[in-house]
């Protein structure tokens, strides 16, 4: 059940708060040669304000006395119904003030009075349509009782406020829970007429953030009849970006004349889909074209803050890429780094392990793979557009608790890029074990904070297409150097010792391992 004050706004509180009608403090104006006398409101106006605030304060006090809610208590229900009646009286007396309706809606929810919830919410949102929190509370009320009704409420909310992104996001989430057919039906309906097509594009752009693959598929379907619609193209590209299909997003964005892509949000998206696959020069060129001063003055503070944060990170990744490219070429020409094959839902991913750069972390990965630790284990977390986590420790893995020392501060530490294999640890130093993650996207904010111990050579698309619950079928080390892989670990007391001593099971190399050909000479992930 929802908290009693979820809709009754903070403005109704009377303790430690100024009266609702009190003006906000303003700086003292500079003196003028002939200051005007202060304005004194007419007696009737002052009296009306005072009566409003007295009534609001009394109502707020009564609501505070009803918290926490006790809907199973008959006495509480009687008092709540009395507060609803006083909320109605407040609304009748002050019909342009929403606080009486907020009280009615909040208590109707607590009392689970369906008709009263609908009536009070409709009246409240008609009077104050900007109160999206109230609309979402209305939808959540029905989601716990009747999902079909919840969908109808969300559709009603979107119809009333077609620009309210939170309403659209919750509607898309609800439709996706019903199934792909429900989502497609809504877009097919909106796309039938010119009057509602712009709303279809607006909702598609929100769907892209909720479920990229669905947005990309629906966007391509809509583009069949409107291939020249720029906003539709952008929304479809955003769907591909959030589906981790960066090449498809680039194809769409690159098909548009650059002169038409002037919106900083569109340029940022365009830069993103180049940056994802290490096309750093082009990504930086696009971001450099954004006039940040003009953006700051344009009234889009969220986008301005995000770009201010992202631009230096993108610069860091670009600056480090030439050296990393040389190291990858050197690794490929030498051809002696260990290789492993990950089978994810029957699909192969080939990875190279940076033994010279993170030797102990590589040894821990190899030892865990040899023991079958990863096999048949679902991914711990698939965070599309960021990373997939593998190898969470299990109680039945047959090994006592242990961690490995961090290696991210070694002089040869590798940067974190798309396809990097990175040791997962908590905020505590030296807390990594066999858990690791594979990056979908460059992560320079993690450079020198987490240990990079390998990279994907082929099959990065397999990682990027994973869904939550997909299983890592097996990990097999297919090439290794001619020495045991027995990492130094930390036991629960903080003692350093070889893993073999801790487990009494030496990490011997399995029989039948043959050396595969070296990775491609260019060292480029797929």
- Residue 153 near residue 138, CB atoms below 8 Å: yes
Q: What is the pLDDT of residue 503?
A: 80
The C-alpha atoms of residue 235 and residue 256 are separated, in whole angstroms, by 13
Whether residue 6 is predicted with pLDDT greater than 60 in this model: the reply is no
Least confident of 29-43, 207-221, 476-490: 29-43
120 SS3 class: helix
Residue 29: predicted pLDDT: 35
In terms of Cα–Cα distance, which of 15, 26, 13 is closest to 59?
A: 13
pLDDT tens sequence across 225-259: 999 999 999 999 999 999 999 999 999 999 999 99
Please give the average per-residue pLDDT across 248-273, as a whole number. 96
Question: What pLDDT, on a 0 to 100 scale, did the predictor assign at position 47?
Answer: 67
Give the pLDDT confidence score for residue 434 in this predicted structure.
87
- Give CA–CA dist 407/409, Å, rounded: 5
Per-residue model confidence (pLDDT) at position 397: 61
**Kindly report the CA angle at 74 between 103 and 87, in degrees rounded to 5?**
15
CA-closest candidate to residue 345, choices 487, 463, 511, 500? 463
Q: What is the rounded distance in angstroms from the CA atom of residue 476 to the CA atom of residue 523?
A: 21
Residue 17 has pLDDT above 50, yes or no: no
Q: Which long-range contacts (CB under 8 A, 24 or more apart) does 379-384 make?
A: 379/466, 379/468, 379/469, 379/470, 379/471, 379/472, 380/435, 381/468, 382/466, 382/467, 382/468, 382/470, 383/440, 384/212, 384/242, 384/243, 384/244, 384/440, 384/464
pLDDT at position 23 is 33
- All domains of the chain in start order, with CATH: 338-503 (2.40.100.10)
- b/e map of 141-153 (b: 16 or more CB within 10 Å)? bbbeeeeeebbeb
CB atoms near residue 364 (< 10 Å): 28
Q: How confident is the model at residue 18 (pLDDT cuts 50, 70, 90)?
A: very low
Tell me the Ramachandran region of residue 376: left when phi exceeds 0, alpha when psi lies from -120 to 50, beta otherwise. Answer: left
Name the nearest CA neighbour of 369 among 396, 383, 346, 390: 390
Segment 95-124, tens digit of pLDDT? 999 999 999 999 999 999 999 999 999 999
For the segment 291-298, the average pLDDT, to the nearest whole number, is: 95
Matching residue, tokens 């099971």? 505
Q: Work out the mean pLDDT of the chain and round it to a whole number.
A: 87
pLDDT band at 504 (very low <50, low <70, confident <90, very high): low
Peptide bond into 411 cis (omega under 30): no
| 218 and 187 Cβ atoms separated by less than 8 Å | yes
pLDDT at residue 46, rounded to an integer: 52
**Phi, psi dihedrals of residue 472, rounded to the nearest 5°:** -85, 100
Maximum average pLDDT range among 20-24, 71-75, 514-518? 71-75
pLDDT of amino acid 3: 47
Rounded CA separation 325/308 (Å): 27
Residues 410-441: tens digit of each pLDDT: 989 999 999 999 999 988 999 998 899 999 99
- Please state, in angstroms and rounded to a whole number, the distance separating the CA atoms of residues 117 and 142: 10
Q: Is the pLDDT of residue 64 over 60?
A: yes
């Amino acid at each position: 059940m929802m908290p009693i004050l979820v809709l009754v706004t903070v403005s109704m509180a009377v303790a430690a708060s100024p009266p609702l009608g009190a003006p906000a403090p303003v700086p003292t104006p500079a003196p003028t040669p002939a200051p005007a006398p202060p304005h004194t409101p007419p007696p009737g106006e002052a009296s009306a304000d005072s009566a409003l605030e007295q009534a609001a304060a009394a109502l707020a006090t009564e609501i505070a006395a009803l918290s926490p809610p006790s809907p199973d208590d008959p006495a509480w229900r009687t008092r709540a119904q009395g507060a609803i009646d006083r909320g109605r009286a407040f609304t009748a007396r002050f019909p342009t003030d929403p606080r009486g309706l907020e009280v009615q809606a909040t208590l109707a929810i607590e009392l689970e009075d369906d008709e009263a919830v609908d009536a009070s919410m409709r009246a409240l949102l008609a009077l104050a349509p900007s109160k999206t929190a109230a609309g979402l509370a209305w939808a959540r009320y029905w989601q716990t009782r009747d999902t079909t009704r919840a969908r109808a409420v969300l559709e009603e909310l979107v119809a009333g406020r077609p620009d309210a992104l939170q309403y659209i996001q919750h509607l898309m989430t609800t439709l996706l829970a019903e199934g792909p057919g429900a989502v497609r039906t809504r877009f097919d309906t909106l796309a039938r007429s010119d009057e509602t097509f712009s709303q279809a594009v607006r909702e598609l752009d929100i769907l892209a953030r909720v479920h990229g693959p669905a947005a990309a598929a629906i966007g391509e379907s809509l583009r069949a009849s409107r291939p020249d619609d720029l906003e539709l193209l952008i929304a479809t590209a955003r769907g591909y970006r959030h589906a981790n299909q960066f090449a498809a997003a680039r194809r769409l964005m690159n098909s548009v004349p650059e002169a038409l892509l002037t919106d900083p949000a569109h340029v940022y998206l365009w830069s993103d889909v180049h940056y994802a696959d290490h096309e750093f020069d082009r990504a930086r060129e696009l971001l450099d074209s954004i006039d940040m001063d003009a953006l700051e003055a344009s009234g889009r503070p969220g986008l301005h803050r995000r770009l201010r944060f992202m631009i230096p990170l993108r610069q860091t990744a670009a600056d480090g890429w030439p050296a990393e490219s040389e190291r990858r070429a050197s690794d490929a020409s030498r051809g002696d780094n260990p290789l492993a094959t990950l089978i994810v839902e029957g699909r192969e991913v080939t990875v190279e392990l940076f033994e010279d750069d993170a030797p102990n972390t590589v040894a821990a990965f190899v030892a865990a793979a040899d023991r079958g630790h990863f096999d048949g284990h679902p991914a711990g977390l698939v965070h599309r557009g960021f990373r997939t986590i593998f190898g969470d420790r299990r109680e039945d893995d047959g090994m006592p608790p242990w961690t490995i020392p961090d290696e991210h501060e070694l002089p040869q530490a590798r940067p974190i890029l798309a396809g990097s294999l990175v040791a997962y640890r908590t905020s505590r130093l030296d807390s990594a074990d066999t858990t690791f993650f594979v990056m979908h996207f460059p992560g320079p904010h993690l450079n020198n904070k987490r240990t990079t111990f390998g990279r994907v050579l082929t099959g990065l698309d397999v990682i990027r297409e994973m869904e939550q619950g997909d299983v890592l079928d097996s990990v097999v080390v297919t090439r290794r150097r001619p020495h045991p892989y027995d990492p130094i670990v930390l036991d629960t007391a903080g003692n350093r010792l070889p893993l073999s001593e801790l487990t009494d099971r030496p990490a011997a190399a399995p029989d039948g391992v043959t050396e595969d050909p070296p990775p491609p000479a260019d060292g480029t992930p797929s």
